Amino acid sequence: MSNRTTIDARNAFCPGPMMEMIAALKTIAVGDEIEVLSSDKGSANDIPAWTRKVGHQLVSSDDHGTHWSIVVRRMK
């Protein structure tokens, strides 16, 4: 069972959801997950694409209307 850490980056201007996620990935073990709550559409688009490019796993990306919930599993 993966451990999951949630970052509530809704309305966070700086450093913003994606930077928070990149930083958080460095603090968890391989196989564990980060959930990012983001109200920034750019991050909602960028995080899944970036995750695939660098070899982590996109577990889910859900549009909740007011924000997105994106879950990424660290793979390396």
The footprint of another protein (CB under 8 A) covers 5, 7-9, 11-20, 22-24, 26-28, 42, 46, 50, 53-55
Helix H, strand E, coil C: the string for the chain is: CCCEEEEECCCCCCCCHHHHHHHHHCCCCCCCEEEEEECCHHHHHHHHHHHHHHCCEEEEEEECCCCEEEEEECCC
CB of 24 to another protein, least distance (A): 8
Annotated catalytic residue within 1, 13, 14, 53: 14
Q: Establish whether 14 is a catalytic residue.
A: yes
CB of 75 to another protein, least distance (A): 12
